[in-house]
Amino acid sequence: MEIKEEMTAETAMKTPQTSTETRIDHVAAPTRVPLLDMERELGPLMADLVEATARVLASGRYVFGPECGELESSIAQYCGAEFGVACASGSDALLLALMALDIKPGDEVIVPSFTFFATASAVTRLGATPVFVDIDPATFNIDPHLVEVSLTARTKAIIPVHLFGQCADMDSITQLARQHGIFVIEDAAQAIGARTGDRSAGSLGDLGCFSFYPTKNLGGCGDGGMITTSNEALASRLRLLRGHGMHPRYFHQAVGINSRLDTIQAAILQVKLPHLPAWTRERQSNAARYDQMFRVAGLDQVLTLPMARDGYHHVWNQYTVRVADQQRDALRLYLSAAEIGTEIYYPVPLHRQECFSYLGYNDGDLPDTERAAGEVMSLPIFPGLTEKEQQTVVDRIARFFFGAEATTSSSPARPKYLTGKGAARENTATS
Ligand SMILES: Cc1ncc(COP(=O)(O)O)c(C=O)c1O
């Protein structure tokens, strides 16, 4: 039940090596570490999941059954919002949120470019224009100063994405939005339970959008989504729009979409939700353990480790390092050959996607986003990942850079490949 990574050891072996002197055939006997292993999450809950699924099957209420309403209340409460409106996916949650705000052709919506496609495609599906804004390179989240300079008379909304599980700088963004009379839609697909101060993702803007795709911190066994809000009028508009704008039956007040949540998914998510706080704590301790292991191995000299901002409760949907000096893809191939799962979120920024070429962006327009796309690599962080597996990941990375397993002493081996700029950086860091 593991989610398969795209690149197998076999394809890695066949792919010619790039600039690095490290060769795939130097990898010792592989020890598999999957990017994600659902079995470890679902296994202990199997009896409850089967019972919940059987109950729905017997009920005959397969779409928007009572479990859906219960899940709406539970998620709203979990996020500190008054209402939850369930729908078919996180992508639909974003689309419905924009529809509820009446976003239309001619309107501009500010979005990051370093995010999943759905953040921006929801905007274009309504004929509106996404305005891509660069990120804060330290957090990967949209930079509020650049949001401010991108505002125009046409700006109707901002969609900050809480990327990898850490909230964007919502104080600055909501303040700007208030000053300029525009809406804030949180893309909280990766950040259920994340907080800034004592406020949770999903309660920080006008609307919060969540995904229950299996890889998310609260994932279903299929697709699902939710919009949270404390605005009653918006909640009832969303309910209307997700059901073809129909109320009462066969009377259509608006042109909505069909975006239903299956009752089985809601029942499964209700079984999983009480475990989310413990899973989140595991993700947080896995992240802290990686930080420590990487530092002990001296790998913080060659990788940029992810950072959690002070006062932010990061929920670590991804643990994403930066690999500079164009070593990222070679390292990924090397890890793949050792059967260590990794992923690149995201290799092509949205402003450089073919389908958005009509918007007229060029290379270099969003330099921090483009640099991140070339450097990021996400490592296994899922709950249930063992300390030994994390050490294997760190050891393999150490072997790639230093030609030796990670050392447990505080004086790591010198990176084999470093010359020029990298060597200077290393010398400074170790002096
Ligand atoms: C940041 C972000 N936004 C939106 C989505 C879309 O969610 P879904 O896959 O449920 O449609 C995702 C999920 O992949 C996501 O990561």
Q: What is the pLDDT of residue 430?
A: 27
CA 300 – ligand 1 centroid, Å: 30
Helix (H) or strand (E) holding 131: strand 129-133
Where does 60-128 show beta strands of DSSP type E? 83-87, 108-112
**Closest ligand 1 atom to 212 CA:** 10
Instruction: Name the residue range of residue 413's domain.
Output: 9-38+276-430
Does residue 231 share a domain with residue 269? yes
Q: Are residues 333 and 369 in the same domain?
A: yes
Same domain, 216 and 343: no
CA of 307 to the centre of ligand 1 (A): 22
Residue nearest to atom 12 of ligand 1 (CA): 189
Tell me: do 66 and 190 sit in the same domain. Answer: yes
Write out the H or E segment, with its range, that includes residue 371: helix 367-375
Q: Summarize pLDDT for 124-159 with one digit per residue, the tens.
A: 999 999 999 999 999 999 999 999 999 999 999 999
Q: Give the ligand 1 atom nearest the CA of 224.
A: 10
The CA 115 to ligand 1 mean position distance, Å, reads 9
**Average pLDDT of 176-180?**
97
First to last CA, the chain: 47
- Report which ligand 1 atom has the smallest distance to the Cα of 91: 11
Q: What does DSSP assign to residue 83?
A: E
Q: Give the CATH number, domain containing residue 362.
A: 3.90.1150.10
| Inside any domain, residue 327 | yes
Buried b (16+ CB within 10 A) or exposed e, 250-287: eeeeeebbebbbbbbbbbbbbbbbeebeebbebbbebb
Kindly report the CATH number assigned to the domain that includes residue 100. 3.40.640.10
* Same-domain pairing of 265 and 314: no
Minimal-distance CA residue to ligand 1 atom 10: 90
49 in any annotated domain:
yes
Ligand 1: atom nearest CA of 211 is 10
- Tell me the CA–centroid distance for residue 95 and ligand 1, in Å: 11
| Domain count of the fold of the chain | 2
Considering the domain boundaries, does residue 177 fall inside one?
yes
- Bigger pLDDT: 66 vs 19: 66
Distance CA 422, CA 412 (A): 15
How much is the average pLDDT of 393-407?
87
- Residue-wise burial string across 44-54, b where 16 or more C-beta atoms lie within 10 A, e elsewhere: eeeebbeebbe
Answer whether 302's CB lies under 8 Å from 401's CB. Answer: yes
Ligand 1 midpoint to CA 407 (Å): 38
Cα 38 to ligand 1 centroid, rounded to whole Å: 18
Given a contact cutoff of 8 angstroms between Cβ atoms, the answer to whether 156 and 103 are in contact is yes
Nearest CA to ligand 1 atom 14: 116
Q: Does residue 323 sit in the same domain as residue 257?
A: no
Residues 139 and 256 in one domain: yes
Q: What dihedral angle (degrees, nearest 10) is formed by the CA atoms of 331, 314, 392, 386?
A: -150
pLDDT tens by residue, 2-16: 443 333 333 333 333
| Structure confidence at residue 407 (pLDDT) | 52
Ligand 1 mean position, distance from CA 212 (Å): 8
Q: How far is the CA of 70 from the centre of ligand 1 (A)?
A: 22
Query: Among residues 224, 251, 274, which one ends one of the domains?
Result: 274
pLDDT at residue number 222: 96
Shared-domain flag, residues 259 and 297: no
Short-list 328, 331, 322, CA closest to 303: 322
Q: Of the residues 274, 289, 315, which one is the last residue of a structural domain?
A: 274
For strands 312-313 and 195-196, give the pairing: antiparallel
**225: Cβ contacts below 8 Å, ≥ 6 apart:** 86, 87, 88, 89, 90, 91, 92, 93, 209, 210, 211, 212, 259, 261
d(CA 207, CA 101): 10
Asked if the structure places residue 68 within a domain, the reply is yes
Instruction: Say yes or no: 74 and 218 in one domain.
Output: yes
Ligand 1 pocket check: which of 3, 36, 91 to mutate, most ligand atoms within 8 Å of Cβ?
91
Same structural domain, 208 and 338:
no
Could you say which of 274, 305, 320 is where a domain stops?
274
pLDDT tens, 230-245? 999 999 999 999 999 9
CA distances from 90 to 61, 159, 383, 406 (A): 23, 13, 22, 39
Q: Using a 6 Å CB cutoff, which residues line ligand 1?
A: 89-91, 115-116, 118-119, 161, 187, 189-190, 211, 213, 223, 225
Average pLDDT along the chain: 90
In a domain? residue 3:
no
Percent of the chain with pLDDT over 70: 87
Residue 410: pLDDT above 80?
A: no
Using pLDDT thresholds of 50, 70 and 90, give the confidence band for residue 311. Answer: very high
Q: Is 312 found in the same domain as 286?
A: yes
Q: Pick the atom of ligand 1 nearest to 190's CA.
A: 16
The H-or-E segment that residue 262 falls in is none
Residue 239 has a pLDDT of 98
The answer on 268 and 300 residing in a single domain is no
